[in-house]
Amino acid sequence: MSSAIDPRWRDVDLWFADRLLPPDPAGGAALAANQAAGLPAHDVSPLQARMLALIARMLGARRVLEIGTLGGYSTMHLARALPEDGQVVTLEADPHHAGVAAANLDRAGLAARVDLRVGRAVDSLPELAEAVAAGVAAPFDLVFIDADKPSNPVYLDWTLTLVRPGAVIIADNVVRDGRVTDADGDASVQGVRAFTDKVAADPRLTATVLQTVGMKGYDGFMMILVDTAPAAP
Ligand code: SAH
Ligand code: DHB
Ligand code: MG
């Protein structure tokens, strides 16, 4: 994110990470490999990765869909949170990013639990939806939307064809330094705004937003529960 990071945000992130997170050599190696390969530092932070893993475990998730792999840092934490026979399907448009991610996941011993599909997400999603509709693949328990923000509304539509009732959707970067409230914001802001309106208009969905500060700056997550019946007020 663009604006300055208050040094306290980083210090507090590191203070808690130091106490609450185990040493993570594979994660550290992945971040180093991403940097060496010139990938943008858009990975979730270690504490955010832990949050994703906790949500997966709280749901008892077996199948997770991630849209936007980058170097596989979030993927790695989601995959570790699944049972042995669980799977993360992760979609990445950039072959260079996907190559780095595949090497990172391999090195972490997680390749068998990750199905990394290279190509634009809109091109991979129909095939996934067909497999779920045909009963060839189980529906997803958890979806992490973290790719090109202008496509978020489209990703929501596909996601709703791919999940089980009771599934959770997490969308990253919905605050963007507060720019989300700018009606004349850029295409990413417009994507998040349209996504939010779509979520709000769908009676199956109950959502909230957590604004975050930390080593990644000022941003936030949307958390959405896919209800079986219209949401209670
Ligand atoms: N989830 C990752 C970060 C993802 S960054 C983590 O936390 O570690 C966003 C990624 O989405 C980038 O790698 C970018 O190449 C990818 N991306 C952008 N547009 C995409 C598209 N149309 N389809 C699939 N992936 C896309
Ligand atoms: C950007 C994208 C991300 O997914 C992220 O976590 C941070 C920044 C970006 O495009 O600027
Ligand atoms: Mg992100």
Atom of ligand 2 nearest to the CA of 146: 4
Predicted pLDDT of residue 232:
59
Q: Please give the residue range of the domain that contains residue 130.
A: 7-226
Tell me whether residue 2 is in a domain. no
Whether 70 lines ligand 1, by a CB cut-off of 6 Å, is: yes
Angle, helices 25-36/95-107, rounded to nearest 10 degrees: 150
What is the spatial distance between Cα 97 and Cα 7, in angstroms, rounded to a whole number?
Answer: 29
Please write the tens of the pLDDT for every residue from 27-56: 999 999 999 999 999 999 999 999 999 999
CATH number at residue 202: 3.40.50.150
Please write the tens of the pLDDT for every residue from 192-229: 999 999 999 999 999 999 999 999 999 999 999 999 75
How many structural domains comprise the chain? 1
Whether 146 lines ligand 2, by a CB cut-off of 6 Å, is: yes
Query: Are the CB atoms for 139 and 132 separated by under 8 Å?
Result: yes
Whether 43 lines ligand 2, by a CB cut-off of 6 Å, is: no
Tell me whether residue 108 is in a domain. yes
pLDDT at 190 over 60: yes
Tell me whether residue 233 is in a domain. no
Going from the Cα of 92 to the center of ligand 1, the distance in angstroms, rounded, reads 6
Ligand nearest to the CA of 52: 1
Hey, whose CA ends up nearest to atom 8 of ligand 2?
Answer: 42
State the chain's mean pLDDT as an integer: 96
